């Protein structure tokens, strides 16, 4: 999994746990489950009986009379939360491109580098010319040392996925590996998505 996948899934799980925990806390007290089943909530448990309120005015008064630092602390915490949320949101929007791929190993030998767009355009052109392939799009993402190639192939309705995949591996992807020749791209992870161009059902004659 990429770092972003791990981050997204971790934060989603955290948000889910907070929501689930809060909801269950209210439900247990609101439906009076502690008393009905003779459960004793621990000392200091926030909500215990159906007559509690979520945030009483006494609580609010107690919190805001903590001292001069209370409101600056609240403001700082809110700014921090808002900035983290903004950063998390922006992380979904952009895709990381390696920029230039080193040719012959990292650090680049003799400073030879290959633009990622040049490589992906070359793969796309060669892949689009394969038999049974109508159209190909290629993106290269990740860091220069660990690039990932994403290929989307649109097959013609007569195409065979197995044959197209084998031809892609033996043709354009082998050329790409040979032309960079660096260890990172030798193990370049490749993700291929195959689609089929839509056509009207036709009757066999």
Site for other proteins in 66-95 (CB under 8 A): 71, 74-75, 78-79, 81-82, 85-86, 88-89, 92-93, 95
* C-beta of 21 vs 99, nearer to other proteins: 21
Nearest to 149 by CA among 106, 109, 179, 104: 179
Question: Cβ neighbours of residue 166 under 8 Å, at least 6 residues apart?
Answer: none
Considering CB under 8 A, how many residues would be counted as binding other proteins?
Answer: 88
Q: 155-184: which residues touch other proteins (CB under 8 A)? A: 155, 157, 160-163, 165-166, 169, 173, 183
Minimum distance, C-beta of residue 100 to other proteins, in the bound complex (Å): 18
Nearest to 96 by CA among 147, 151, 39: 147
Minimum distance, C-beta of residue 115 to other proteins, in the bound complex (Å): 19
Distances (CA, A) of 45 to 25, 54, 56, 156, 160: 10, 13, 15, 64, 63
Residue 107: is the preceding peptide bond cis (ω within 30°)? yes
Contact 116, 100 (CB under 8 A): yes
Q: 34-73: which residues touch other proteins (CB under 8 A)? A: 47, 49-57, 60, 71
Residue 99: is the preceding peptide bond cis (ω within 30°)? no
Q: 98-157: which residues touch other proteins (CB under 8 A)? A: 105-106, 139, 141-142, 146, 148, 150, 152, 155, 157
Minimum distance, C-beta of residue 172 to other proteins, in the bound complex (Å): 12
- 29 lies in the site for other proteins, by CB under 8 A: yes
Minimum distance, C-beta of residue 22 to other proteins, in the bound complex (Å): 6
């Amino acid at each position: 999994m990429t770092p972003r996948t791990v981050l997204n899934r971790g934060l989603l799980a955290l948000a889910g746990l907070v929501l689930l925990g809060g909801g269950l806390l209210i439900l247990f007290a609101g439906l009076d489950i502690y008393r009905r089943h003779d459960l004793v909530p621990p000392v200091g448990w926030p909500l215990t009986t159906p007559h509690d309120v979520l945030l009483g005015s006494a609580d609010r008064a107690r919190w805001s009379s903590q001292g001069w630092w209370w409101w600056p602390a609240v403001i700082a915490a809110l700014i921090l939360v808002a900035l983290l949320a903004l950063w998390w949101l922006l992380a979904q929007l952009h895709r990381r491109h390696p920029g230039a791929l080193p040719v012959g190993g990292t650090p680049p030998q003799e400073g030879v580098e290959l633009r990622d767009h040049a490589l992906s355009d070359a793969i796309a052109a060669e892949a689009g010319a394969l038999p049974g392939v109508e159209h190909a799009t290629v993106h290269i993402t990740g860091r220069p040392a660990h690039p990932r190639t994403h290929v989307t192939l649109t097959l013609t309705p007569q195409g065979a996925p197995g044959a197209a995949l084998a031809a892609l591996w033996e043709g354009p992807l082998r050329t790409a590996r040979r032309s960079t020749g660096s260890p990172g791209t030798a193990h370049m992870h490749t993700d291929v998505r195959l689609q089929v161009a839509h056509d009207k059902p036709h009757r066999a004659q």
